[in-house]
Each structure stands twice: as structure tokens, then as C-alpha cells.
Amino acid sequence: MTVFSVRHLTEYRYHRPVGFGEHRLMFRPRDSYDQRLLAARLTTSPASGQRWLHDVFGNCVTLLNFPDRADRLLIETEIRLEHTPFAGPDVSTDEAALTYPFDYAAEDRADLGRTMERHYPDPDGAVARWARQFVAQGRPIPTGTLLMTLCYAIRESFTYSRRHEPGTQPPAVTLHLRRGTCRDFALFMMEAVRSLGFAARFVTGYVYVADRDGDATLGGGSTHAWCQVYVPGAGWVEFDPTNGIVGSRDLIRVAVARDPEQAVPLWGSYHGAAADELGMRVQVNVTTETVEETPGEAPLG
């Protein structure tokens, strides 16, 4: 099996010492059958009071409170986890959902709730039309093929571009520009598949990039984002349209949410003038090692 190590450092600098409001942090991966947390460490400078909670989605959230003023705020996390890649959609997809269109069972629809609803305006129906082009009118299509085609189409026909503005751009804007960040592409795919009747949710975490393994200075640069689509029998299947990844290969899941605004990796405030802020620096390094498995050993859910 593979063991991933992640070092995530965020540094804010200020002209003079400022006070800090509460900071909300999502960094602890979700334990599951395909990833198991081995160790986690969080350090801050200045020192902080820390408490943990689970949000409405079951994500682990850390709340930081800083009693001291400072002209520099450093938050550093380190995690180590076992990772067992999962390629999907799984062949065990329910027979009724093997081809699209299909209907979710009534008991599933009750729990999937708002993850099936579209959340963003699509005034001229452009996002829905973009999704429908992959569905042959009057003919069923394998569900896995449809979802993978949507994922790969974003990867091939949209351009990744870093953006300094906070937040996630509306899907209609992403389609118009054919450009965006990983968060933009994840949300665009979510709204596209929702227009076809699928349930989808947002995922934030980290991605392993082999070319950067072992380099102390080249990190992923920041956190990563992708989406999950619910397929009966296969469950929540990962789709990363930024990299064209289907399944959990190279993806480290930290938090899931109905909307990107509910899964911001780090959020906080400071008490001072706007001119006090000098800027921030983010460094993310994801490295890997291979660990021999005991014969007959299987990951536990």
C-alpha cells in the first residue's frame, strides 16, 4: 500500500502586531476504507487555543483562538496516512443504474436531498446544454461512461488558471471563460451532473503530484478540490476534472460539502487596518512511500 505524507504551511505577515479572530481549519483527512490516518500534527505561531468539532457533514473542523498579538501568523499541519487507490465507478453498480437515465430509489432521494438540486443560476441554460450534449437522445448510455466523459471533457477543453480572488466562480462564468481553478472545475461538474439528475458534492483535500515528490520547495502550491457523484451500488465516486482522475488515485480526501463555501480549508480574521496586511504564503508538499502489505491483509472500513 501507499503511505502519503502532507506538509501544509500557511504564513500571514503584517506591518505591525495585530490581533486575531477565531480561525477555522479543515486539515484532518476523513478516515475511510481507502485512506486511514496514521498521524496528524498542528502547530501555530503565535501559540493558539485549539478545539475540534464535527460539522453537519461529519468533517473534522479545528477552531483556533489566539490570545497574543503578532506581526506574523504561521499555521503548519503535517499528516501521514495509508492510501489504497480506488478506481470507479465500481463494477458493482446496481443493475438499475448501469445505464443512464435512471432514477434514484425513494429512500436514497430522501437522504441525497439538496445534493441533487442545482445551486447556481443558469439563466440561458448553457450549463445544462453543455451536459446534455454527452447524452444521445432516445438512447441509454452506460452511467460510468457518461460521468467519465464529462470529467475528461472538462480536463481537455478547459484551461486551468490560478486566480487570486477569493471564492469560487459561478459555473456559467466558468463555461463562458473556459478557464478556472480546481474549485471552479469541481463546482462546474457538480452543476452539470445535477442538471442531468445526479447527486453531487464538493470535496477539498490534497493531490499527489509525482513530479514534485521529494522536493522540499515544489509543493502542490495549495489545497486541491474535486467532486463526488452518487452512483447506486458504487456509492460516492470521485471525479477530478482538473486532472482527469476518476476514483481516488492520488487524491487525499479531507472534507466534503454540498457547496464549496462550506468547505473552505482555512478561514479567519485579524483586528487591524487593511493596510497592515503584507501578504500570505502557502506551501503544500505531498510525498509518498510504499509499504509492503501482509498477505491477505485488506483495508478496514
Same domain, 201 and 54: no
Same domain, 244 and 107: yes
Q: Is residue 126 part of a domain?
A: yes
Query: What total number of domains does the chain contain?
Result: 2
Same domain, 284 and 230: no
Same domain, 114 and 228: yes
Same domain, 145 and 175: yes
Domain coverage including residue 162: 95-262
Q: Is residue 89 part of a domain?
A: no
Same domain, 68 and 105: no
pLDDT at 92: 78
pLDDT at 221: 57
Same domain, 113 and 198: yes
Residue written as cell 476518476? 246
Between CA 40 and CA 45 the distance in angstroms is 17
Q: Is residue 209 part of a domain?
A: yes
pLDDT at 90: 63
Same domain, 21 and 110: no
* pTM value > 0.85: yes
pLDDT at 214: 54
How do strand 251-257 and strand 245-246 relate by DSSP bridges? unpaired
pLDDT at 297: 46
Same domain, 161 and 283: no
- Ranges in the chain, pLDDT < 70: 87-91, 212-221, 291-301
Q: Is residue 10 part of a domain?
A: yes
Same domain, 79 and 189: no
- Helix ranges (H only) for 103-238 are 106-112, 126-132, 143-157, 171-177, 182-195
pLDDT at 154: 98
Cα dihedral sign for 27, 28, 30, 35? positive
Q: How far is CA 187 from the centre of its chain?
A: 10
Same domain, 108 and 209: yes
Task: CATH number of the domain at 202, please.
Answer: 3.10.620.30
Q: Is residue 25 part of a domain?
A: yes
Same domain, 111 and 215: yes
